[in-house]
Every structure is written in structure tokens, then in C-alpha cells.
Amino acid sequence: MDSLCFHSVLLLLVSTASCLSFSHPSFLGVHPLDAQYYSSEFIKCKDGSKSFSRDRLNDDFCDCSDGTDEPGTSACSAGKFYCRNLGSKPQFIVSSHVNDRFCDCCDGSDEYDGTIRCPNTCVMGGNAENMYGNYNSKVRDQSVFSEKETENGAKAEESAHSLSVSVATPDIGGGVPAELKETLVFT
């Protein structure tokens, strides 16, 4: 019984430690499919140039020229930061946008240093791209409606003008009887 209890506690500790290691801040900016890549003690730069220990991951010093070691900081110019954006569309942003005081990820994960607070807008209708797209769509729909309205209004004015011109000018060769012309002018 004691060994069962011991194994249960050991299993609980191991599973908690593995969960904590993947939610550790050093994994910030890492795509979920790359988490396994970063899980070993020594990690190779993706360009194959060198390797580094896991404690140098996201240490704000660029060890790999391709940015492999700094997915969650702006230390490497070639780096990419992964925004999970739960409730919206996940995306990569250039690492220079991390902690730049602008909320690029709708979940605010790119501004983690505490200098600015980014509200999570992912579940409130999406990221800024979607909101901008919806706004442009509505503006475009309204402008098309206005163009049609103006076009129809202009056509109506042209028709009224041509009708009044045709009524005011004498009818050469028959056409509309004089009584009807007088009726059209007064209505």
C-alpha cells in the first residue's frame, strides 16, 4: 500500500513538473508543434549553425542567427513570435514587435514585460485584422449603396429633365398629343 501511495505521489510530481516546464515562460512565443523541439536539454539552432542549452532559451541574447533561441523576445532580428490567440486566428509576428508597447497579438501575449496591459480581445470578435476587415466591408457596402442611390437619383433627374424638355419643345411629326403634353407638364 505504501509503494502504491509513493508511486502515485511520484507520478503526480512528474506530471506536474512536465506541465510546468511547457507552461514555463521560456516557452513563450513557441508554436505548440515546436514545443517538443525545445524540450531537450540541448537545442540545435534550426539553421544547424550551433546548439545551446535550454536555460539560454528566451534569455534575451541572440545565440542563433536564425532566432531559434529567442522565440519569445526581440533579441534576434530574424526571430518569429507565435501568438496563440485562443478564440481567434493564431499568427506569427516578427520578434521585433515583442514588448514594443503595441498589442500585436489579440491575446496580448507579445507584451508580457508589464509596461503595457493588453486586454484579450480574441474572444470579443477577433483580432484587429478581422475588425478592420469588417469595418472596410461595411464602409464598402455603404458606398456601393450610396453610388446606386446617387446613380438612380441622377437617372431620375435626367428622366425628369428630358421629359420636361420634350414637353416644352414642339412635337415635330406627331408623337404625343398636345393634351397629354399639357397634362405631363402640370403633374
Indicate if the pLDDT at residue 73 is higher than 90: yes
Other beta carbons less than 10 A from residue 138's beta carbon: 10
Per-residue pLDDT of 11-54, as tens digits, reads: 343 333 333 333 455 689 999 999 999 999 999 999 999 999 99
| Residue-averaged pLDDT of the chain | 73
Q: Mean pLDDT across the stretch 159-170?
A: 51
Half-sphere exposure of 125 (CA within 13 A, CB side): 8
- The one-character DSSP state at 61 is S
- pLDDT of 71 above 90: yes
Which of 99, 113, 105, 112 is CA-nearest to residue 85?
Answer: 105
Ordered by start, the domain boundaries in the chain are 18-126, 131-186
pLDDT reported for residue 1: 52
Q: What's the average model confidence in pLDDT over 105-121?
A: 95
Burial class (CB in 10 A: 0-12, 13-18, 19+), 20: exposed
pLDDT at residue 158 in the model: 62
Nearest CA to 19 among 35, 31, 4? 35
